[in-house]
Amino acid sequence: MEAVAAAAAKDKDKTKAKQRYLKRKKERRKVNKKSKPKPKLRLHRCLDSRMMQRGGGGEEEEPESGVEEEVEEEPPTKKRKISIEPATQDSTPAPAPTVSTPAVSAPLTLPTFPLPALPNPPSKSTLALQGLDRALVNAEIVPASRTVSIVDTDADRDQGTGGTHLGFSEKMRKRLVDLGITELFAVQTSLLPFLLPFSPLSKALYQPYNPPPDVCVSAPTGSGKTLAYAVPIVEILSSRIVTRLRALVVLPTRDLVLQVRETFEAISKGRGLKIGTATGQHSFSHEQAQLVGDHFTSLQGGSSKIDILICTPGRLMDHLKETRNFSLQHLRFLVIDEADRLLAQSFQDWLVQVLQATRPPKPELKYTLNYLARAAAAPSVPPVPDALSPSFLHLDTDIPSFITERKESSCQKLLFSATLTWDPSKIAALGLHDPKYFIVQGQQGEGRVMKGGRDEEESGALLDVVMEKFSMPATLKEHFLICTTYQKPLVFFHLVHSKHILNPNDAVLVFTKSAESTERLVRLFGFLREAIEEARARAQVLELDSSTNTNIVVQAYSSDLAAAERKSILEKFKAREIHILVCSDLISRGIDISHVSHVVSYDAPVDMRKYVHRVGRTARAGREGDAWTLVEEQEARHFKIMMKDAKHLSDVKRLRIGEQEFAPLVPHYETALSKLKAMYSRS
Ligand SMILES: Nc1ncnc2c1ncn2[C@@H]1O[C@H](COP(=O)(O)OP(=O)(O)OP(=O)(O)O)[C@@H](O)[C@H]1O
């Protein structure tokens, strides 16, 4: 019994000792908690602030539209992972740990180390501006509201304003007013005074010792870039006495060449300037006869029948290589419109070859072995040193010159796009001389509210351009719809027939991903209308109201069509004989059809550049316009991320169409689908 009692007492002591130990441990923990730093918390804060500064955390958390919330976010697991990593892994030397000696032999807590302090990373704008071309940092940011009236009132005449103060002549002002242009748009008010300075020397056709500065312009679609370069070119070239090829405008497609030619012809009426095109639409010999005067004598200065050539790069290369007396040495202007697209195309290195043809070759020392060898191999009739431009004069070795200063090409390069690239490697390839950048703001720029005043506003606009957040026309309304692949034709059909789109005077441009999709959609549309008409004839269409107009003219426009056919289709569309034009991205850039009131991207665009140019076919020159993008369910995530990256998601409204709205169409759609299937299986 005694032994049992002793054992019980011993157990009791042990329990008491254990309780005491636990109590002490708890107290020690409390003390430690108060005195020790909180590494996890600090690291979290540190990481959070870093993420905010890098734009990761800060921007993602920005409250956006209801649509925005549907974008899937990355789970925040990473942050936690990092926070529990042992601090000792960091290579930064840490101060000696402070370990408190326990009063009793209790298990030691892990020593903690103060975390190394991370320097604050530079802000986004500083990062983007670091290493940027100085000229780009000094870009002129032009608000879209900077317009100027050119209607000549008595007051204007007295004050010498009314447009002529922008550098162009009274003759040009009158011509523009005759064409219905009463005020100049922002891109024009900024560029004209720059390209047409008052000093007569700057308007000279040749400036071999002080070549004019090059210009890069980024301005929204439909903002009037064509006139911004056409007016100065016509004004400066009008002073010429002898016809030489002095302006070259390069564009990516034939359709655009024809459009720009029309603009030049309209504004240069009565100036005696000769305008030519080279697109491959006519035979090569026909084009040669249009471009060059003398085909037989080899003239070192070339021989031109035109002052201005508007062309595509492929055909330009052909003439440069094979057309005798086709010379670019007299160029005063080289315009690259839709520059980002053209710079992305190699076309036998067209840019390098063109730039080389504008620059004078280095003077050669006579009587060197090389020179003599080449002279011996030269054709028996040497080229005649006629009509050389000032910077090429040294080619005529018989003309003595005592001027040793190097002569440069007088060619001023002008680059334009709504989505201009700022890729330094591409810009460097242009060898720009003293470039000046103009950035015309659109929708986002006008609405921007910046706390830091003008400087911050400007660097914000610059940052947007550099980071390819493109400006949109202020008058554009954008929408998107998400649907299944099966529903897409139904949604499209419903959209154009419902109040959303087609009013009697509306014109709709529909973009698909390829010529084949264009063809298929037009056929399906036709079969669907047929099915509805048949059902109507059988008086079966009860639910479809009479507004479902089946007389709408829909036409496909694709590269599969002959050039003449394409031209005729575009003319009919402009004349409103065609209501819906379905096309691939062939005419998504530059084409200007003023009455296009709606653009539908039937197949969602894969990148932001494509999106900008497609939707830019409407809402041009200050008119209203709507853009609709049909997004298949599986593409929705990509589309939203693309928009979000471009800071544009909140500007695009999501539209929801309930299935019941197009349910009456479904039986007819099924009939149309089976007809389409039968047609394709036959072919
Ligand atoms: N000052 C103006 N007043 C009225 N209309 C104008 C003016 N300037 C240009 N326009 C018209 O605006 C339309 C769009 O012009 P333009 O085609 O030059 O735009 P853009 O900036 O080149 O567009 P994109 O980037 O899509 O090629 C044209 O129909 C043109 O005639």
Residue with tokens 């006008």: 446
| Rounded mean pLDDT, 444-456 | 50
What is the per-residue pLDDT for 311?
96
Dig out the tokens for 432 from the structure: 């720009």
Evaluate: CB of 616 within 6 angstroms of ligand 1. Answer: yes
pTM for this predicted structure: 0.76
Q: Is the pLDDT of residue 291 over 70?
A: yes
What is the per-residue pLDDT for 571?
92
What is the per-residue pLDDT for 644?
92
pLDDT tens for 468-511 read: 788 899 999 999 999 999 999 999 988 887 766 667 678 999 99
Residue with tokens 């007389």: 551
| Rounded mean pLDDT, 99-117 | 65
Q: Is the pLDDT of residue 236 over 90?
A: yes
Residue pair 444/647 in contact by the 8 Å Cβ criterion: yes
Which amino acid residue places its CA nearest to atom 9 of ligand 1? 224
Q: What is the ipTM of this complex?
A: 0.99
- Give the span between the Cα atoms of 235 and 39, in whole angstroms: 70
Q: Is the pLDDT of residue 431 over 60?
A: yes
Q: Is the pLDDT of residue 219 over 80?
A: yes
Q: Concatenated DSSP letters for 209-236? A: TSPPPPEEEE--TTS-HHHHHHHHHHHH
Mutating to test ligand 1, I would choose from 148, 225, 475 the residue with most ligand atoms within 8 A of its C-beta, which is 225
pLDDT tens for 3-16 read: 555 556 666 667 77
pLDDT tens for 356-367 read: 999 877 665 555
Which of 585, 592, 642, 637 lies closest to 614, judged by CA?
Answer: 585
Q: Is the pLDDT of residue 355 over 50?
A: yes
pLDDT tens for 657-676 read: 888 888 888 999 999 999 99
Q: What's the 620 CA to ligand 1 centre distance in angstroms? A: 7
Q: What's the 223 CA to ligand 1 centre distance in angstroms? A: 5
Evaluate: CB of 181 within 6 angstroms of ligand 1. Answer: yes
Q: Is the pLDDT of residue 307 over 90?
A: yes
Give all domains of the chain, ordered by start, each with its CATH number: 126-359+408-463 (3.40.50.300), 472-682 (3.40.50.300)
Q: What's the 307 CA to ligand 1 centre distance in angstroms? A: 23
- Give the span between the Cα atoms of 675 and 672, in whole angstroms: 5
Beta bridge partners of 148: 184
Q: What's the 338 CA to ligand 1 centre distance in angstroms? A: 14
| Rounded mean pLDDT, 601-615 | 96
- Give the span between the Cα atoms of 290 and 304, in whole angstroms: 9
Q: Above pLDDT 70, what percent of the chain?
A: 71
What is the per-residue pLDDT for 11?
66
Dig out the tokens for 449 from the structure: 């509210």
pLDDT tens for 578-605 read: 999 999 988 889 999 999 999 999 999 9
- Give the span between the Cα atoms of 457 and 42, in whole angstroms: 34
Dig out the tokens for 576 from the structure: 């409103």
What is the per-residue pLDDT for 422?
76
Residue pair 438/461 in contact by the 8 Å Cβ criterion: no
Which amino acid residue places its CA nearest to atom 15 of ligand 1? 224
- Give the span between the Cα atoms of 427 and 465, in whole angstroms: 14
Q: Is the pLDDT of residue 179 over 80?
A: yes
Q: Is the pLDDT of residue 143 over 80?
A: yes
Evaluate: CB of 185 within 6 angstroms of ligand 1. Answer: yes
Query: 560 pLDDT band (50/70/90 cuts)?
Result: confident
Evaluate: CB of 212 within 6 angstroms of ligand 1. Answer: no
What's the half-sphere exposure (Cβ side, CA atoms, 13 Å) at 248? Answer: 31
Coil/strand/helix, residue 38: coil
Q: What's the 112 CA to ligand 1 centre distance in angstroms? A: 67
What is the per-residue pLDDT for 390?
73
Coil/strand/helix, residue 124: helix
Residue pair 219/612 in contact by the 8 Å Cβ criterion: no
- Give the span between the Cα atoms of 597 and 617, in whole angstroms: 9
Evaluate: CB of 354 within 6 angstroms of ligand 1. Answer: no
* Nearest-atom index, ligand 1, CA of 590: 27
Q: Is the pLDDT of residue 398 over 60?
A: no
Count the residues in the chain. Answer: 683
Residue pair 307/247 in contact by the 8 Å Cβ criterion: yes
Rg (CA), the chain: 35
Query: 67 pLDDT band (50/70/90 cuts)?
Result: very low
Q: Is the pLDDT of residue 19 over 90?
A: no
Coil/strand/helix, residue 638: helix
Residue pair 612/651 in contact by the 8 Å Cβ criterion: no
One-letter amino acid for residue 612 of the chain? V
Higher pLDDT, 234 or 499: 234
Higher pLDDT, 379 or 15: 15
- Give the span between the Cα atoms of 641 and 635, in whole angstroms: 10
Higher pLDDT, 487 or 424: 487
Evaluate: CB of 184 within 6 angstroms of ligand 1. Answer: yes
- Give the span between the Cα atoms of 586 and 574, in whole angstroms: 17
Evaluate: CB of 458 within 6 angstroms of ligand 1. Answer: no
Which amino acid residue places its CA nearest to atom 23 of ligand 1? 222
Q: Which of 158-172, 197-211, 290-304, 367-381 has the lowest mean pLDDT?
A: 367-381
Q: Where are the beta strands (DSSP E) in 492-561?
A: 507-511, 554-557
- Give the span between the Cα atoms of 318 and 281, in whole angstroms: 13
What is the per-residue pLDDT for 488?
95
Evaluate: CB of 594 within 6 angstroms of ligand 1. Answer: yes
- Give the span between the Cα atoms of 615 and 612, in whole angstroms: 6
pLDDT tens for 519-556 read: 999 999 999 988 888 888 876 555 555 455 657 899 99
What's the half-sphere exposure (Cβ side, CA atoms, 13 Å) at 298? Answer: 7
Residue pair 448/150 in contact by the 8 Å Cβ criterion: no
- Give the span between the Cα atoms of 561 and 115, in whole angstroms: 68
Distances (CA, A) of 401 to 385, 396, 407: 15, 11, 12
> Over the chain, what is the mean pLDDT?
79
Residue pair 263/322 in contact by the 8 Å Cβ criterion: no
Q: What's the 633 CA to ligand 1 centre distance in angstroms? A: 36
Residue with tokens 């007295």: 158
3-state secondary structure 596-614: EEEEEECCCCCCHHHHHHH
Evaluate: CB of 223 within 6 angstroms of ligand 1. Answer: yes
Query: 199 pLDDT band (50/70/90 cuts)?
Result: confident
Q: What's the 360 CA to ligand 1 centre distance in angstroms? A: 35
Which of 75, 66, 77, 124 lies closest to 640, judged by CA?
Answer: 66
Query: 405 pLDDT band (50/70/90 cuts)?
Result: low
* Nearest-atom index, ligand 1, CA of 592: 17
What is the per-residue pLDDT for 198?
78
- Give the span between the Cα atoms of 249 and 337, in whole angstroms: 7
Q: Which of 54-63, 309-318, 543-552, 571-580 has the lowest mean pLDDT?
A: 54-63
Evaluate: CB of 222 within 6 angstroms of ligand 1. Answer: yes
Provide the 10 A C-beta neighbour count for residue 364: 13
- Give the span between the Cα atoms of 276 and 260, in whole angstroms: 11
What is the per-residue pLDDT for 173?
93
Which amino acid residue places its CA nearest to atom 31 of ligand 1? 224
Q: Is the pLDDT of residue 71 over 50?
A: no
Q: Is the pLDDT of residue 1 over 60?
A: no
Host H or E run for residue 483: strand 476-483
| Residue 256 Ramachandran class (φ > 0 left, ψ -120 to 50 alpha, else beta) | alpha
Which amino acid residue places its CA nearest to atom 25 of ligand 1? 221
- Give the span between the Cα atoms of 673 and 677, in whole angstroms: 6
Coil/strand/helix, residue 259: helix
What is the per-residue pLDDT for 118?
61
- What is Dmax (Cα atoms) for the chain? 137
Mutating to test ligand 1, I would choose from 223, 233, 250 the residue with most ligand atoms within 8 A of its C-beta, which is 223
